[in-house]
Structure 1
């Protein structure tokens, strides 16, 4: 249990304070605040597939001498934003009561100048308030990465048992620490496109694999074991992309990806707050110029590299597919609806299809392999020759991580192949 309360003997107020209680089984670490601010607690939490920075804040109402000033709040948020990536946290969660009584969280607008300056900082650094619904919402759950958040709901049983002007919220977060959740994920289609491979900590992963190779503890489900092992390695050493980043083409830089999110939010806010229209226009102009620069830079890198597959992939991404005409004609037949077009295509393909007379050749007897021996050096040599741009295999593992980890992964693959062979 971590808490940070103001001195009880200061003034007439003895209220306030911040507290975070966490189970011993959850790996965590308390973070020190360089700022002399009471009523704030900050910890790092390891949730299996990612790390998060959790900060609990209490700021007294605006007419109190204990309320946090505008500069204190912005300085605190800036410190949190600076610290999170440097300690390996991909998500920031700020919870508590900041008493922004004039703020409309849906539009990120406030008539109070102090609140508005803090909202502008949150807006520019891509923070979202996930507790909405009330006109006057004092409690906050702010995050710069809502992807791990599964649900936010009010605990009505707790609310009815205690009279308070605050609602108790239950927030469910994604965690990849359990084997059962990993197995459920494997039952779905595996998508490693959600991971940013170029930002993976391959050196750290190589050091880990050198001392912790794949070690099968059960020989009846080796396939499942190696799948779980691969998933854990990705989640531990390769950062995940946000849903927004996955939806964008690769030529869009991280800076412009952020600007696009700001533009989306400004467009939503400008419908209720006309003061945002000028800012939306400026962001749109800035984004248009920046996206043109991204396009030129990406084209330069693709064509300088000279890889035919990459050039072909890029040209395909910018080429607009031809649209199907509203009316299709085949000889004296015509089709206008989707069903009629599908039947017309079927008729056409039937006319051009010819069934060949294929006779299967008899199988010739081949000498059987008496023994199979896998050598670590030969496996390493094969991995080093892999081309990163080639298609993935059935396990959805691309060549980039296999080649980057060729030396350390060879030992694990040797154990795996020998296990399968035996």
Structure 2
């Protein structure tokens, strides 16, 4: 884990900024707690014993490296580019989230914290953190919107089995943004003893940096595996973007490789011409939310808008500050797909390749289905399949009348 640079610029700088985005927009008494976490993280990440323990857990517990799979039938059906899937869905707990949750749980243990608090949308972060906390022996409390609890029942059950305390959030839209608010309020009760293990590359510094660093293994593995599969770098690396942790994990190894096109896919929901979407980078503007500066979907009073996505893990009105910076400098192309395109991609991948993807990941799959056919046959696309769709199967079946 090394400090990331792009064009000679440290990302983030010493104050946690990626250009104008990031930072710590928090009460003064909370700044010390965030700075303590940053100091502890910078200390622990340089320790060989920490790196060794984390690497052993990645290998023997998570099952890394996750495979890079050539989707031959899908590629042939679409024509054009060759499509590869980075199978983060095969990780222990079923998604990329376990990568940073293990790091955060080990950090909490190192700092002597008495409770780990977190939010979750689709439940993948909640399950992964509950798993990691069970492994290291630290109490875990997960805040989840009531809408998402009803939608993601399998993950709710898993969190309870793993010993986490689940807090149902009924305020506001009862989805991810409200779960973040609720978890943050609980954390503020005792920031000295508690740690808030943020579930994406969002929030005040150092979390966007920390979560990115733990997720960077995805892109590092893709880089090595691409050489084995097709003896060059990918032409495209594609990932869904809500907060943006799986995407920044996949993109980070390629930021300096200008020949690799990076595509982040946001939820257009029921359409960008409606108010039922969560396409923050497509239609938002610079603002502040949850202790950071980033692109935000907000009303004329500067308050975050209610947002919508069929994927619970993507319905967030903000986005990671590094993604905001990468949009501004043009290094990443941010696109969007609708709920309908997402559902179609979910079913297509399931029936053509026998892989049931998470609805979040299905956004990235949908973009590839839409675009790959027009590309040259020598083009190689790597899609980060960030999670599996077990959690979504009942919801999709009901939605489609299966």
State whether TM-score is above 0.5: no
Shorter-normalised TM-score: what interval?
under 0.3
| Greater relative contact order (Cα < 8 A, sep 6+) | 2
Higher strand share: 2
TM-score (structure 2 length as normaliser):
0.22
> Which structure has the bigger radius of gyration?
1
